[in-house]
A and B are shown apart, each in its own frame.
Chain A
């Protein structure tokens, strides 16, 4: 019974098509097991990942996020990951400033040949977020006004 109530984090991974997605595929082909908490979203390039995607993942109930792409210098489009890195350098502190634990949003470089690193990285993210527990803060604001929220009746709605 105890196992049924154990918290399993929901992790959304945004992967670039050319490196990390292929790396994750390699892990699969090589039958390397990793924790099944992750939902992978494949995108052409990390440079095309609008930070709004990441906020949206939290809105839709993610407890943690991993963004992963090609190592610097290996971008299929030459500079996509460099531009992405710039954005993360400011976006991550912004979220932290707003009270979001930076451990919930992690970044990595995993190449198409690094099936092992993918397994290691994603297991690391899952374990970290599992230890942090559910993202209650965000889930609470998501639920404001909905039937699931106990606060609905007292939230001051006059309508």
Chain B
């Protein structure tokens, strides 16, 4: 698989189909990988693929530094590929401006990441070239997809409040969650605005609640569950639970799953006249 990947990258660079390949490279220890940006055909041996390739490289599509390198080919797993679908829908990139090298994946991380438990995109849904043997994508029921939420949803109101306060209390407002998020692409985030100051910039419980709720809410109907926010959080806040809760509500109310179909209307950019309103008096 690695050989096929390197060969494809070399070919793309030689033919000048792309200017740069975003991929995974070896890290400082065998259990780690790091993002690499290959611009010369002779460097393709730096590319690798293994179960430690956890990063969602599509986040570099929003970074000025990497965009400056020219037209990219990007190595994506099934989950990461969903991001590209959303980015296309949200007019952040054009399909023809990137070359997608999809890799089939049977789960990453050690122990395996939570997102891999109910993975239904072992083979990416969108790609120009597929590396690895095609795997039939599984199907999961609505309940199976959001099973992780059950134990939190059945808590009492007070228990939920206490649980999340304990989590948010740890937040140091480093904004790593939004920096890593491939879909948090505003040039100027709400937290960077100080007139008016909507979100308290200090790591105070008041601002921490506002920030974490707002961050999650801005991803409502958009998050594709790559879990990168949760992985990079230095305070170990289970941020993806919030994202997942929103994904569940979006699917329940609007029958929409982010990143699965490039023809679907974006859930939060459209409406239906018969949307649920049983909570509105």
Chain A residues at the B interface, C-beta cutoff of 8 Å? 51-52, 55-56, 59, 72-73, 79, 82-83, 85-102, 106-109, 121, 124, 137, 141-142, 144-145
CB-CB < 8 A to A56: which residues of B?
198, 210
- Which of chain B's residues 131-168 have a Cβ closer than 8 Å to chain A? 152-153, 157-165
> Are B279 and A92 in touch, CB under 8 angstroms?
yes
* Interface residues of chain A: helix, strand, loop or mixed (majority): helix
> Are A86 and B161 in touch, CB under 8 angstroms?
no
* A95→B245 CA distance, assembly (Å): 10
CB-CB < 8 A to A141: which residues of B?
165, 205-206, 209
> Are A97 and B152 in touch, CB under 8 angstroms?
yes
Q: Closest Cβ of chain A: how far from B203's Cβ, in Å?
A: 11
Chain B residues at the A interface, C-beta cutoff of 8 Å? 152-153, 157-165, 190, 198-199, 204-206, 209-210, 213-214, 216-217, 220-221, 241-242, 245-246, 249-250, 253-254, 267-268, 270-273, 275-277, 279-281
Please provide the 3 A-B residue pairs with the shortest distance between their CB atoms, ordered closest to farther.
A99-B161, A99-B160, A82-B271
Which of B161, B250, B268, B277 touches A98 (beta carbons < 8 Å)? B161
How many A-B residue contacts, CB cutoff 8 Å?
A: 114
Q: Closest Cβ of chain B: how far from A61's Cβ, in Å?
A: 11
Which of A55, A79, A108 touches B209 (beta carbons < 8 Å)? A55
**Can you offer 11 A-B residue contacts whose CB atoms are under 8 A?**
A52-B214, A55-B210, A56-B198, A59-B210, A85-B271, A86-B271, A90-B246, A94-B242, A98-B242, A101-B157, A107-B281
Known A98-B209, A99-B159, A141-B165; contact A72-B249, beta-carbon cutoff 8 A: no
> Are A98 and B213 in touch, CB under 8 angstroms?
yes
Query: Nearest CB to that of B268 among chain A residues?
Result: A86
> Are B245 and A94 in touch, CB under 8 angstroms?
yes
CB-CB < 8 A to A121: which residues of B?
281
